[in-house]
Amino acid sequence: MASENKLDFKLYLVTDRKQTLTGTLTEVIEKALKAGVKAVQLREKDLNGRELFQLAYEIRQLTKEYGAKLFINERADIALAVNADGVQLGENSIPVHEVRKIIGDKKLIGVSCHGEESALNAEKTGANFIVFGPVYDTPSKAPFGHPLGIEKLNSVAKRIVVPIIAIGGIKKNNIQEIVKNGASGVAMISAIISAPDPYEEASEILRHL
């Protein structure tokens, strides 16, 4: 099975094509990849299967060119079709062990968790890494309830072995706090996708990491 306690990326770029300011989603992603981003999660829930496949295929070509990983949100079939590096699941998705049967042992599975017990369960059932949050207040994560806070991140980090990627309201000025409290990295959406200069913003964030 793919390594369960090591990731070769610290910045996890999550897509939202409706937030781009400086071109198409693929253009924004390429700028971030040029800056050194090594992992992208394609998360465009409103696209149909054909549209999602076409976008995933384009992004897969870019991530291969820049030596970065591509994860597909929820869709194991699309991940297999474009030979992505893994799948990102939610708390209420198909169970990790069932997705593992579909994609095999070599691909990675991340699970988005909004509480300590769900993070523990995700690790127990075979997740390679946890995306935990929202740590801070952020509009994009409002549906998942109040921010969990830095103390909860610290508590979870002490109880699980697999890497934790923190998400939710993360800015350059709180990255160090996130890392000091047990996160292996950070996930970001609007901070890069909506940036006036995605290349410079991604470069700056990577410097902080």
What's this model's pTM, rounded to 2 decimal places? 0.94
CA 22 to chain CA centroid, nearest Å: 21
Residue whose structure tokens are 């509480």: 115
3-state SS, residue 78: helix
Q: How confident is the model at residue 4 (pLDDT cuts 50, 70, 90)?
A: very low
Residues 122-155 have pLDDT tens digits of 999 999 999 999 999 876 656 656 899 999 999 9
pLDDT of residue 141: 54
Please choose, from the candidates 180, 113, 124, the residue with its C-alpha nearest in 3D space to the C-alpha of residue 148. Answer: 113
Q: Residues of the chain with pLDDT > 70: what percent?
A: 94
| Mean pLDDT computed over 14-42 | 97
Please choose, from the candidates 40, 44, 66, 62, the residue with its C-alpha nearest in 3D space to the C-alpha of residue 53. Answer: 44
Q: Residue 8 above 50 pLDDT?
A: yes
Give the whole-angstrom CA distance, residue 34 versus residue 20: 17
Distances (CA, A) of 39 to 14, 173, 180: 9, 22, 21
Residue ranges with strand state E in 22-107: 39-42, 69-73, 86-89
Rg (CA), the chain: 16
| Mean pLDDT computed over 41-55 | 97
Phi, psi of 132 (to 5 degrees): -115, 130
